[in-house]
């Protein structure tokens, strides 16, 4: 491979990395916010799925109805769907105090079932998959070599890295809400005694998290692909669960993890198209295996939020 080819390869790789990482950034930051409040939301896989479906369905139907901002309506639809699922999760785990992992898995199964049901309902059983014109990419640096292709990204990718990540950090560590959220996840009794409304805070964390997860899913359907298929999320929610633990519940480290995974994923894709015969599954299994390994190494000292998985009851 000569130099220019290599540069092209590298530039393509970086651009693809950011694109692949985008839904994971939304999802894992959503999960970080939820888990810091003491709730493991295993509904993430389903909420991303539902976000992808709702975003696509609303966008496609709005387009049919001749509405100009159909993609934005789609995004809004995704957010609403994510918030609804988060509220259901809140009802189960915060209000009723049910087992978080079983509830979360139930939410995932329910959200996936509802999406597939809804897809049939809205689009019927036609053999041609419906599609919409997705968000287009922004050419920030135009056709400039190197910078041009790297910065040719979707607006949602820019928002993820430039707005969401710093915002999430600020929210968690520099606002009274973030302080309350972390306290509620560490020691709800103490937060309650200090006058924090534990239930409201946990609901809010779930809702913010659910909205972000849904946006992550919608990014795939209404930005990257312009279509919806049953394989659209393909375990990305579980990857986010792994990233959050790997990142020890920190939004910045979770983003770094998402980028790392994005790079590995983009690399294997590129190597495959270049004709290398690789068991690409090995690359895809990396985030899971690395997380399990990291857990095994840190062991007991894994810095779980103190009230992880524990419902709060005031007697």
Partner 1 sequence: MPHEPYAVEMRGITKRFGTITANRAVDFALRKGEVQALLGENGAGKTTLMRILYGLYHADEGDIFVDGQMADIRSPRHAIAHGVGMVTQHFALVPPITVTENIILGYTDRFNIDLDAAHNKVAEASRRFGIAIEPRALVKNLSVGERQRVEIIKALYRDAKVLILDEPTAVLAPQEADELFESLKRLRDSGLSVIFISHKLHEVMAITDRVTVLRSGELAGTVNTAETNQADLAKMMVGRETFGVTKSDVNGRQGDIALRLEKISALDSKELVALKEISFEVRTGEILGLAGVSGNGQSELAQVLEGTRPSTGGRVSANGREITNAGPEQIMATGVGRIPEDRHESVVAEMTVAQNMALEHLHEFVRRGMLDKKRIRAHAETLIEAYQIKARPNDRIRTLSGGNMQKVILARVLERNPSVIIVAQPTRGLDVGATEYVRQKLLEQRQRGAAILLISEDLDEILELSDRIAVIYEGEIMNVLPAAEADIERLGLLMCGVSV
Partner 2 sequence: MQIKIERSPAPVWFRPLIPLLAIVFTFVITASLVLLVNANPLSAYYYFLIDPLSSRVSAIEVLVKSTPLILTGAAVTFAFVGGYWNIGAEGQLLMGATAATAIGLQMHGVPAWIAIPLMILGGFLAGMLWALAPALMRVKLAIDEVVTTLLLNSVALLIVSALLNGPWRDPISQWPQSPEIAPSAIFPKLIPRSRLHLGFILAVIVVILVWFVLTRTAFGLRMRAVGMGSSAARFAGINVDRTMLISGLVSGGIAGLAGVTEVAGIHYHLIDAISGGHGYTGIIVATLGTLNAWGVLLAALFIGLIDTGAQTVSRALGVPVYLGDVIQAALLLVTLGFLLLQGYRIRWRRKG
Q: How many residues does the chain have?
A: 315
Helix (H) or strand (E) holding 186: helix 176-186
Tokens of 228: 């919806």
Task: Please state the closest distance from residue 94 (CB atom) to partner 1, in A.
Answer: 16
The three-point CA angle 251-211-177 to 5° equals 55
Which of 6, 7, 10, 117 binds partner 2 (CB under 8 A)? It is: 117
Question: Segment contacting partner 1 (CB under 8 A): 15-23, 39-47, 89-97, 176-184?
Answer: 176-184
Q: Is 227 in the site for partner 2 (CB under 8 A)?
A: no
Name residues whose C-beta falls within 8 Å of residue 90's C-beta, 6 or more positions apart in sequence. Answer: 202, 203, 206, 207
Residue 96 partner contact from partner 2, partner 1, none using kind-dependent CB cut-offs of 5 to 8 Å: partner 2
Name residues whose C-beta falls within 8 Å of residue 17's C-beta, 6 or more positions apart in sequence. Answer: 259, 262, 263, 265, 266
* CA–CA gap between residue 232 and residue 217 (Å, rounded): 8
User: Which string of b and e fits 246-261 if b means at least 16 CB within 10 Å?
Assistant: bbebbbebbbbbbbbb
Site for partner 2 in 36-55 (CB under 8 A): 40, 42
Q: Is 300 in the site for partner 2 (CB under 8 A)?
A: yes
Give 76 or 179: the residue with its C-beta nearer to partner 1.
179
Q: Is 312 in the site for partner 2 (CB under 8 A)?
A: no
Q: Under a CB-based contact definition with an 8 Å cutoff, are residues 38 and 180 in contact?
A: no
Nearest to 262 by CA among 230, 305, 208, 219: 219
The mark string for 255-294 relative to partner 2 (x by CB under 8 A, - otherwise) is ------------------------x-xx-xx--xx-xx--
Which of 136, 175, 272, 298 binds partner 1 (CB under 8 A)? It is: 175
Q: Is the dihedral of CA 81, 82, 86, 87 positive or negative?
A: negative
Site for partner 1 in 183-222 (CB under 8 A): 183, 186-187, 189-197
Residue 313 partner contact from partner 1, partner 2, none using kind-dependent CB cut-offs of 5 to 8 Å: none
Q: Is 146 in the site for partner 2 (CB under 8 A)?
A: no
The values of phi and psi at residue 246, to 5°, are -55, -35
Q: Is 245 in the site for partner 2 (CB under 8 A)?
A: yes
Q: Is 301 in the site for partner 1 (CB under 8 A)?
A: no
Which of 11, 76, 87, 110 binds partner 2 (CB under 8 A)? It is: 110
Q: Under a CB-based contact definition with an 8 Å cutoff, are residues 194 and 183 in contact?
A: yes
- The strand pair at 152-154 and 137-139 is best described as antiparallel
Contacting residues toward partner 1, per CB under 8 A: 174-177, 179-180, 182-183, 186-187, 189-197, 306, 314-315
Contacting residues toward partner 2, per CB under 8 A: 40, 42, 88, 92, 96, 98-99, 101-103, 105-110, 112-114, 116-117, 120-121, 235, 238-239, 241-242, 245, 279, 281-282, 284-285, 288-289, 291-292, 295-296, 299-300, 302, 304, 308-309
């Amino acid at each position: 491979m000569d130099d220019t080819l290599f540069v092209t390869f590298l530039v393509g790789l970086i651009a693809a990395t950011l694109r692949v990482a985008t839904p994971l950034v939304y999802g894992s930051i959503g999960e970080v916010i939820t888990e810091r409040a003491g709730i493991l939301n295993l509904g993430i896989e389903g909420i991303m799925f539902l976000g992808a479906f709702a975003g696509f369905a609303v966008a496609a139907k709005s387009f049919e109805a001749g509405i100009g901002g159909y993609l934005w309506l789609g995004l809004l639809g995704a957010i609403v769907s994510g918030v609804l699922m988060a509220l259901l999760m809140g009802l189960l785990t915060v209000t009723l105090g049910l087992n978080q992992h079983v509830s979360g898995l139930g939410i995932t199964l329910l959200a996936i079932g509802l999406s597939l049901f809804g897809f049939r309902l809205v689009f019927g059983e036609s053999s041609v998959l419906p599609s919409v014109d997705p968000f287009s990419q922004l050419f920030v640096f135009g056709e400039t070599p190197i910078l041009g292709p790297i910065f040719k990204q979707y607006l949602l990718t820019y928002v993820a890295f430039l707005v969401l990540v710093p915002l999430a950090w600020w929210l968690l560590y520099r606002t009274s809400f973030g302080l309350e959220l972390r306290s509620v996840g560490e020691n709800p009794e103490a937060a309650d005694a200090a006058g924090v409304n534990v239930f409201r805070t946990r609901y809010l964390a779930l809702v913010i998290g659910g909205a972000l997860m849904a946006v992550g899913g919608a990014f795939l359907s209404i930005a990257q692909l312009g279509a919806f298929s049953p394989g659209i999320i393909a375990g990305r929610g579980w990857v986010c669960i792994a990233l959050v633990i790997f990142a020890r519940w920190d939004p910045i480290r979770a983003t770094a993890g998402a980028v790392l995974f994005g790079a590995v994923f983009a690399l294997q894709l590129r190597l495959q198209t270049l004709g290398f015969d690789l068991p690409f599954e090995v690359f895809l299994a990396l985030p899971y295996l690395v997380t399990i390994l990291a857990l095994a190494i840190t062991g007991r000292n894994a810095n779980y939020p103190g009230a992880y998985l524990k419902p709060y009851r005031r007697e």
